[in-house]
Structure 1
Amino acid sequence: MATLKDIAKHANVSVCTVSRYLSSDMTVKKETEERIQLAIKELGYVRNVVAKALKRKETFNIAVILPKINNLYYSEITSGISQTLGKHHYNLYIYEVDNLNLSEDEILQLMRENMIAGIIFIGLFSDTSFQESIHDALEWEIPVVYANRCIPYDGYPLLYPDLIQASKLGVEYLLAKGKKRIALVHKQLPDHLLAYFLDGFDSASKGEQKPLLMEIAEGMDLPKDLVPVLQENQIDGVFVLNELSAVYLTKALVEANIRIPEDMAVMSLGNSLISQISTPELTCVDLQNRELGIRSAEIILSQIRKQEFEPITVLEPFIVERRSA
C-alpha cells in the first residue's frame, strides 16, 4: 500500500508538502498539485480518514441541515456549498429535517456524536428553526452558519440576501416599464419580513403609492379569486414573492386571456430553473442562491482554520430580464 513517502518521491516534493496539501493546510502551485494528484492516482493511494479523524479528534465532514431536499431552491444553495467544500477536500452530508423525525436537540447531538466539523443551517426567510438551539453547537465549539434568515446577530454568522433592495429593484423595474398599479403577492410572510418588502416598495415608488397586498394561504397554488381581484383593482404589474406562485399566476393569466406583460406584467422573487421554463419565462430578482451556498461554505472553512470572517454577510440581488415583465 502506497504511503505519503511514496507519493512525495513520485511527485518530487517533500513528505511535509504532501501531508499539508492533503490536510488542506497548505495551498500549492497548480503544477505541484497536478503532480501530487497524478502520483496519488498512479500509486493508488487511499487515505485512512477514519484513523486520522480519531487521532486529531476532527473530521472533514460538513453537515447541511435543511427542511427538505426535493426543492430547487435548496439544491442551488447546496450545489454552491458542495462546489466549495470539494475544492478543499471536505465532505458534504445533507440532513433533511422533515424525514429525520428528531427534535432539534437530538439532531444537534447527532452532529456532535458524528464529529461533524461544521454545520450550515438553511431555511426560508420565515424559518426560525434552530435559532435558539444553535447555541448548543457554539458551546461545543462546532463552527456554524445560519443562512438565509434575516434576523438580528446573536453570536453566530448570518448570511442572507438584501430583501429591501430586492423589493426596491423589482418595483423600480415594473415602474420603469410603465406599470401604474402594482400588487405584492406573498405566501404568508410574517409581518417583520413583509415590512422589508414594503420598505423596498416605498423606496422605489418614493412614497407616492401603496401596493395591493395579497396573501396566498399555505398549501394553496393560488386563491381562486386572485386574478379577478387583480383585475378589479386595475393592477398592471405583480411582484410575486414566491417563485412557484409566480409560475401559477402566469398560467392563470394565460387561461384568463390576459396578455403578459402588456396587460399585466409578472415579476418573481427568485431565479431558478422554474423561472426559465415558465410560459412565458419569468423576469425575476435573483437572490444569488448559489453564491449564498459558496459564501456559507467559505465562512465555515474560515472558522475551522481559525481565520477571520464576517459575522454578517448580505448578498446584493439583481434583475434577470425575461419575457413576463
Structure 2
Amino acid sequence: MSTIRDVAKLAGVSVSTVSRSLSGRTFVEEETKQRVLDAVRELNYKPNIIARGLREGRFCTIALIVPDINSLFYPALMKNIEKEAVEKGYSLILCNTNDSAEKEKQAIEMLSSRGVAGILCMSVEDDIQNLLAFQEETGIPVVLINRSSQGKLGTVSVDNELGGYMMTKLLLEKGHRKIAGMFGSFEKSRFRERYNGCKRAMEEYGIEDYKHYFIYDVDTIDEACQRTMEILKWEDRPTAFFATIDMMTIGIYSGISQCDLQIPNDISVVGFDDIFVTKHMIPPLTTYHAPIEELAGKAVEMLVNQIENNGVADEIIVPGNIKERQSVSTL
C-alpha cells in the first residue's frame, strides 16, 4: 500500500505539501498541486477518501481515540465531542483501544490510511511518540484530551492537580486526618497530578504520615473493593477515602458495605470526575466535577483551528469545581 511519503517522493515535494494540497484549505501553487494529484493517481493513494475531500474542499472526518469505552467518563465526553464536531461540519470516527498501547498504535496506523482531517486522543500511556510521528509524517494535527504532552502536541485537560488538592482539602476541613487516597498507575500523568494535589493539601495541614493510608495502582472496581476491605480491617482504619476517579468509588462503596459500615456515618468518600451515576449512588457522592462540555468544546475548537487555519497547538487547562453531596461527614 502506498504511503504519503511515496506520494511526496514521486511528486518531488515534502510530506506537508502533499497534506496541504489534498486538504484544499491552504494555498499551494497550481503546478505543485497538479504534480501531487498526478502522483496520487499513479500510486492509487487513498483514492476514494481523497476524491471526496477534493470535492468538498476539505476532509470532513476527525477521529477520536479512547482507552476504554466501558468507562462511564468517556461516553459522556464522546457524546459532547460528536456534538461539537457536527456543529463545525465534521463527522467522527471512534477508535476504542481497550487500554492497550499496541491497539492504540494499530489505530493510529489505520487512521493514517483513512484520510482523517485530525485526531483527538486520550492516549493509554504518557509515551506519545506514535502520535508525534503520525503528525510529523502526515501533517495531520493531533490534540490530546486530559493528557500531558510537555508542549509537544495541543492539549486540553481538566486541572488534575487542583482537583486532587480541593477534594483532599475538603476532607481535611471536615476534620479528617486519616485519609486513604486511592490512585491509579503513576505511569499516567493524570494520577501523578492528582496525587500531587492531594499531597500539597496534606502538607499544608501538617499531616506527616499521610502516605500510611495511601493505596496505589488500582485498575478495576473489583480491585478497589478488595483494597478497601483490606484497609478497613486495620485497627487504626482511615476515616475517609479520596478516589482519584469516580469508578473507584463504586468498589469503595461495595467494600465499605461488605464491612458492615455506613457512608458517611462511619466512613466518608469523595471522588473525581462527576460521572452521571455519582448523584444516584446511595448516598450521592461528593466529587470533583470535570467540565466535560467545556473540555469537548475547547478540544474540537483547537483541532479544527489547526486543520483549517494552521492554528497554534496550545495547552489549555480547565478548572473544575466541587459537587458537594451526602457522602462526607464532619468529625
Query: What SS does structure 2 have at the residue aligned with 1:232?
Result: coil
C-alpha separation between the residues in 1 aligned to 2:135 and 2:260? 55
Tell me if structure 1 keeps the 8 A contact 2:126–2:188: no
Query: What SS does structure 1 have at the residue aligned with 2:119?
Result: strand
State which drifts further: 95-104 or 311-320.
95-104
C-alpha separation between the residues in 1 aligned to 2:101 and 2:175? 50
1:221 to 220, 223, 228: 223
Tell me if structure 1 keeps the 8 A contact 2:186–2:192: no
Tell me if structure 1 keeps the 8 A contact 2:183–2:195: no
Structure 1 residue 290 displacement after superposition: 3.4
Q: CA RMSD in A?
A: 3.1
Partner of 1:196: 193
Tell me if structure 2 keeps the 8 A contact 1:159–1:296: yes
- One-letter code aligned to 1:222: A
- One-letter code aligned to 2:118: G
Which consecutive unaligned segments of at least 5 residues does structure 1 have?
1-24, 26-48
Q: Deviations over 1:124-145 (max 9, x none)?
A: 6xx236x101123322111210
- One-letter code aligned to 2:184: K
Change in 2 beyond 3 A, CA 1:186/1:258: same
Tell me if structure 2 keeps the 8 A contact 1:63–1:118: yes
Structure 1 residue 250 displacement after superposition: 1.5
Which consecutive unaligned segments of at least 5 residues does structure 2 have?
1-24, 26-48
1:180 to 163, 177, 182: 177
Tell me if structure 1 keeps the 8 A contact 2:185–2:191: no
Structure 1 residue 322 displacement after superposition: 1.2
Tell me if structure 2 keeps the 8 A contact 1:77–1:291: no
Partner of 1:134: 131
C-alpha separation between the residues in 1 aligned to 2:77 and 2:248? 20
Structure 1 residue 279 displacement after superposition: 1.7
Change in 2 beyond 3 A, CA 1:191/1:105: closer
Partner of 1:275: 278
Change in 2 beyond 3 A, CA 1:107/1:57: farther
The answer to whether residue 278 in structure 2 is matched with residue 250 in structure 1 is no
The answer to whether residue 285 in structure 2 is matched with residue 285 in structure 1 is no
**Percent identity (aligned):** 19
Query: What SS does structure 1 have at the residue aligned with 2:126?
Result: coil
- One-letter code aligned to 1:319: I
Partner of 1:235: 238
- One-letter code aligned to 2:87: K
The answer to whether residue 168 in structure 2 is matched with residue 171 in structure 1 is yes
The answer to whether residue 78 in structure 2 is matched with residue 78 in structure 1 is yes
Query: What SS does structure 2 have at the residue aligned with 1:247?
Result: helix
Query: What SS does structure 2 have at the residue aligned with 1:214?
Result: coil
Tell me if structure 1 keeps the 8 A contact 2:290–2:320: yes
C-alpha separation between the residues in 2 aligned to 1:192 and 1:110? 26
Structure 1 residue 79 displacement after superposition: 1.4
Partner of 1:92: 92
C-alpha separation between the residues in 1 aligned to 2:184 and 2:132? 30
Q: Deviations over 1:275-320 (max 9, x none)?
A: 1222221110112233222211111111112164461111112101
Change in 2 beyond 3 A, CA 1:82/1:119: same
Partner of 2:142: 144
- One-letter code aligned to 2:85: L
Query: What SS does structure 2 have at the residue aligned with 1:258?
Result: coil
Tell me if structure 2 keeps the 8 A contact 1:62–1:118: yes
Structure 1 residue 84 displacement after superposition: 0.8
- TM-score normalised over the length of structure 1: 0.74
The answer to whether residue 61 in structure 2 is matched with residue 64 in structure 1 is no
The answer to whether residue 161 in structure 2 is matched with residue 160 in structure 1 is no
Change in 2 beyond 3 A, CA 1:197/1:53: closer
C-alpha separation between the residues in 2 aligned to 1:82 and 1:207? 43
Partner of 1:53: 53
Tell me if structure 2 keeps the 8 A contact 1:67–1:96: yes
Q: Deviations over 1:61-95 (max 9, x none)?
A: 01111223233211111112111111122111112
Query: What SS does structure 1 have at the residue aligned with 2:140?
Result: coil
State which drifts further: 100-109 or 141-150.
100-109
